[in-house]
Amino acid sequence: MQLCRVEGTVISTRKHPSFNGWRFLICQPLDCDGRADGIPVVALDSLGAGIHQKVVVTSDGLAARRAVGDDLSPARMMTIAIVDEAEKEISRSEGATTA
Amino acid sequence: MQLCRVEGTVISTRKHPSFNGWRFLICQPLDCDGRADGIPVVALDSLGAGIHQKVVVTSDGLAARRAVGDDLSPARMMTIAIVDEAEKEISRSEGATTA
Amino acid sequence: MQLCRVEGTVISTRKHPSFNGWRFLICQPLDCDGRADGIPVVALDSLGAGIHQKVVVTSDGLAARRAVGDDLSPARMMTIAIVDEAEKEISRSEGATTA
Amino acid sequence: MQLCRVEGTVISTRKHPSFNGWRFLICQPLDCDGRADGIPVVALDSLGAGIHQKVVVTSDGLAARRAVGDDLSPARMMTIAIVDEAEKEISRSEGATTA
Amino acid sequence: MQLCRVEGTVISTRKHPSFNGWRFLICQPLDCDGRADGIPVVALDSLGAGIHQKVVVTSDGLAARRAVGDDLSPARMMTIAIVDEAEKEISRSEGATTA
């Protein structure tokens, strides 16, 4: 599961039929400071995310197939949470254990 | 699932029999601006993609095995959409929530 | 499974219902010297980890779904150990075999 | 599935018994121009590949377990095709659609 | 499956109960020349590997769960071979086919 920012959408006419009616989001992984880092993934928009919103994306194929309602779907990635806040705590002391 | 551009094909005589009749595409992952980023993957051409077309590729093994019609196939990656348009929205304000 | 340090949390109101009551941790992978390396992952906090603690994170979807008690959950990553100590042994001779 | 070049072999006496009689290949992923890119993987040699041959490698665990004939095997990667030719098409125009 | 060198161990008191009695190894992936490359993984020590030994690590979750004898375990990575020798063949001619 990765913290990503929605950067755009993919429009596709020719696709696997299980994706009809679904929106593909281009999701850019972020580092702990909210900067783009790594290659974007394409995820199904299961929660109605907006452009530039932060989301959590999963790569759990089983859940994605169930979300589209087709056990034969090649779906693998989808949004599972829209982020209100993703806070990096300022490090006070490395290795501090507060749990 | 990744946004990729088809860069070429792999010709193979000696291969797992489940791939007979299938075309292997060399698919280059792209960043949000459409530039090559990361290591290419080899995907089954399930939709008849052309060279230099943009596609979405999945790594869902279950679906790939079903696509080739052989539950014993080592297939793992295939194209699941041919992209008409992949648009990166121009950022107006970071963290804007429009959903 | 990866050695990570907990860097923060993700707050989300709109999320898959299987995550209600669960805390999402932003976990930064570490190299052998304990320095940040690679893109952070988001993991379920199954053990009550504190900020800046080191943890081991798994990507085993089956176990994550069982942890949240919902076989339809898109959960994929969770903490599986809180690290007391992660010691890199000082190399005496490359390739030494002591097992 | 990745396009790789076989760079060497791994010799191991102490290993999971399901690998007895199997050859481990060190396979270097390649970029679209055939240059080494990324970390090598270790794959079972299911097709009798030679050193410096190009191969396609899968990470489909189910198929690898079946290949070694042991459903309890930790096998995960194996060669699935020996490459005769992997041709990158020279780009004429970005985004050209010829399918 | 990846060629790695064991760099250290992880000591953990609070962990999933399926890991009781198991040793976690910090395993550094290696490139074709035996140099560290990429982020370390944490693997179960199924074969009694020594510090600085080279090992092959799998990410096959099914096999790892069976190794620890708990189908509910979040285990995902373990050592599957201890390497006697990992030899990179000196390249004579690119693309030579000797199989």
Q: Does the structure show a pLDDT above 70 at C94?
A: no
Which of E1, E47, E66, E78 to probe by mutation at the D interface, max D CB count within 10 Å? E1
* Per-position pLDDT tens, chain E of length 99: 999 999 999 999 999 999 999 999 999 999 999 999 999 999 999 999 999 999 999 999 998 999 999 988 999 999 999 999 888 876 554 444 444
- The answer to the question of residue C89 being in a domain is no
Please write down the long-range contacts of C61-68, taking CB distance under 8 Å and 24 or more positions apart. Answer: C61/A60, C61/A62, C61/A63, C62/E61, C62/E65, C63/E61, C63/E65, C63/E72, C63/E73, C63/E74, C63/E75, C64/A60, C64/E74, C65/A60, C65/A62, C65/A63, C66/E72, C67/E74, C68/C18, C68/C19, C68/C22, C68/C44
CATH code for position C40 = 2.40.50.220
Low-confidence ranges of chain B (pLDDT < 70): 90-99
**Which value does ipTM take for this structure?**
0.89
- Work out how many domains chain B is built from and give that number: 1
Q: Which chain E residue has the Cα nearest residue D4?
A: E95
Neighbours of D (≥3 Cβ pairs closer than 8 A)? B, E
- The answer to the question of residue A67 being in a domain is yes
pLDDT-derived band at D99, boundaries 50, 70, 90: very low
Distance from CA of D67 to the nearest CA of E (A): 15
What are the pLDDT digits (tens) for D47-64? 999 999 999 999 999 989
Distance from CA of E32 to the nearest CA of D (A): 7
- The answer to the question of residue C92 being in a domain is no
- Whether residues C3 and E26 touch (CB distance < 8 A) is answered with yes
**Residue B41 belongs to domain spanning:** 2-82
- The answer to the question of residue D95 being in a domain is no
- The answer to the question of residue B28 being in a domain is yes
What are the pLDDT digits (tens) for C11-51? 999 999 999 999 999 999 999 999 999 999 999 999 999 99
Q: What is the pLDDT of residue E37?
A: 96
Apex CA C55: angle with CA C49 and CA C56, to 5°? 135
- The answer to the question of residue D93 being in a domain is no
